[in-house]
Amino acid sequence: MLAPVAPPNTRVDHLLIAEMVAAGSRVLDVGCGDGALLQLLADTKNVDGRGIEVARERVNACVARGLSVIQGDADRDLLDYPDGAFDYAILSLTIQATRQPKTVLENLLRIGRSAIVSFPNFGHWQVRARLTLTGRMPVTENLPDAWYVSPNAHLCTIKDFANLCRVVNARVERAVAFNASGQKLGTWIPLTVHNLMGEKAVFMLTRTSGH
């Protein structure tokens, strides 16, 4: 039997997340959008997946394609879930759009035995260059919206996120930064370079004991 293959236009961060997730595990995808990641994980990793999505029409589309998704909000609805309910609690390109990123991350670490978070890196050199040279909020391929319509409320850099992980006592199990073409940056490269060259990053975190 052929192993199921991800469709060709799959988002790079989704592929990276799928690599990190163990087959047959229980997954909660917070901010699951149209359900592409849940579908990918179901097809390639046979996960028992659930999703939360804020936009009603996307939720309805997910349920119509057979995914277990509820209409809800990362800031409000994560509180309902019991501790350790999932193997992985995933937040892909969503943390920057939440009102309380720290609380959301703490909840992810509480609900999932591991948390996987991907986010756009505000420390990327292009972003820095735009801000420095034009003196205005950067609009890039990665951050396409003007500041006044952007859903992003709490943008951060890779270094900032690594710092937040320390603040909430999370252990970084894996961290991968990648550029526009989806190339991963080598792990031997120092964090400062990741922070300059990575357009997006994916972190896999666990609770440290006693937390």
Partner 1 sequence: MNTVSPREFLTPTDARVLEQNSPSSDYLDVPATRPLRLDCDRLLAPFRIAYKTYGELNADKSNAILVAHALTGDQYVASENPVTKKPGWWETMVGPGKPIDTDRFFVICPNVLGGCMGSTGPATINALTGKPWGLDFPVITIGDMVDAHVPLIDHLGIDQLFSVVGGSMGGMQVLEWAARHGSRVYTAMPIATAAWHSSQNIAFHEVGRQAVMADPDWRQGRYLELGTEPRNGLAVARMAAHITYLSEEALQRKFGRSLQDLAAKTFSFNADFQVESYLRHQGSTFVDRFDANSYLYITRAIDYFDLAAEHGDVLAGAFKGTTTRFCVISFTSDWLYPTRGSREIVQALNAVAANVSFVEIESDKGHDAFLLEEPELFAAVRGFLNAAAEKRGLKNGPETR
Q: Note whether 47 binds partner 1 by CB under 8 A.
A: no
Residue among 48 and 75 whose Cβ is closer to partner 1: 48
Nearer to partner 1, 68 or 140 (CB): 68
Minimum CB separation from partner 1 for residue 136, in Å?
37
Is 122 a binding residue for partner 1 by CB under 8 A? The answer is no
Q: For residue 82, state whether it binds partner 1 (rule: CB under 8 A).
A: yes
Of 71 and 179, nearer to partner 1 (C-beta) is 71
Of 1, 2, 56, 148, which one interacts with partner 1 (CB under 8 A)?
A: 56
Cβ neighbours of residue 113 closer than 8 Å, sequence gap 6 or more: 84, 86, 87, 88, 206
Neighbour count for residue 104 (Cβ, 10 Å): 24
Among 15, 18, 63, 137, binds partner 1 (CB under 8 A): 63
Answer yes or no whether residue 137 interacts with partner 1 by CB under 8 A.
Answer: no
Locate 161 and state its tokens: 């996120």
Contact between 113 and partner 1 by CB under 8 A: the answer reads no
The three-state DSSP-derived secondary structure of 73-134 is CHHHHHHHCCCCCEEEEEEECCHHHCCCHHHHHHHHHHHEEEEEEEEEECCCHHHHHHHHHH
Site for partner 1 in 154-173 (CB under 8 A): none
In the complex, minimum distance from the CB of residue 110 to partner 1, in angstroms, rounded to a whole number: 13
Residue type at 195?
N
CB atoms near residue 8 (< 10 Å):
5
The least CB distance from residue 90 to partner 1, in Å, is 16
Determine, following the binding rule CB under 8 A, whether residue 73 of this chain makes contact with partner 1. Answer: no
- For partner 1, the binding residue among 7, 66, 172, 189 (CB under 8 A) is 66
As a whole number of Å, the CA-based R_g of the chain is 17
CA atoms of 166 and 180, how far apart (whole Å): 27
H helix or E strand, kind and range, residue 92: strand 86-92
- Residues of this chain that interact with partner 1 (CB under 8 A) are 48, 50, 56, 59-60, 62-72, 77, 80-82, 85-86
